[in-house]
Amino acid sequence: MAEPAASHMLDTVPPVLRDDIEEVLVDEARIQARLDELAAEIDRDYAGHDVLLIGVLKGAILLMADLTRRLTINSSIDFMAVSSYGSATSSSGTVRILKDLDAAIEGLHVLIVEDIVDSGLTLDYLMKNLRSRRPASLEVVALLTKPTRREVDIPVRYVGFEVPDVFVVGYGLDYAERYRSVRSIVTLKPEVYGG
């Protein structure tokens, strides 16, 4: 049985969502501390270059905001939206572009900003698609990865945390469009999915 979430960690969770949370997997302080490290690494690796951060909507919005304001290198941002799971909790394997980039990326150093790499199918599709647009370089930063779920091998250069094979929400990640504003990565009680 999972431990109930420590109540102080949920102080900033909207009260209507608080009772749905089963466990805090990665709390806000750990996320923010890890982002300091990742930003420092990215600063070092891209020193002397501009970088274009491409956020994958909607899950990556908090990571995008927190990462971009930590970088000391010059960065610009753009977004893509691809088809998501809807309210299901596993991938259909089919990826569609719902919103494309605003501008060309040829010759640019591109860093894809993704919330979580699960099967890897979304990222596999995105990387092939973006590589065909001839960026100078193409790398990935993902807050979370679920290595045991991987169906395709994806080179994710910057990873925040590995999580087990459980459905997680918070810090941008949703279930049926809820819980994105929760500042920690959490799991939900089974009855939330059960209906």
- Which residues here bind ligand IMP, judged by CB under 6 A? 59, 84-85, 91, 114-123, 167-169, 173
| Catalytic positions | 118
Smallest distance from ligand IMP to CB 106, Å: 25
Residue number with CB closer to ligand IMP (72 or 92):
92
Give the shortest CB-86-to-ligand IMP separation in angstroms. Answer: 11
Provide the b/e sequence for 104-132 (b: ≥16 CB within 10 Å): ebeebbbbbbbbbbbbbbbbbbbbeebee
Listed in sequence order, the residues at least 6 apart from 98 whose beta carbon sits closer than 8 Å to its beta carbon are: 81, 82, 83
Query: Shortest gap between Cβ of 71 and ligand IMP (angstroms)?
Result: 22
Residue nearer to ligand IMP on the CB measure, 72 or 89: 89
Helices 61-68, 28-45: axis angle to 10 degrees equals 60
Between 141 and 169, whose beta carbon lies closer to ligand IMP?
Answer: 169
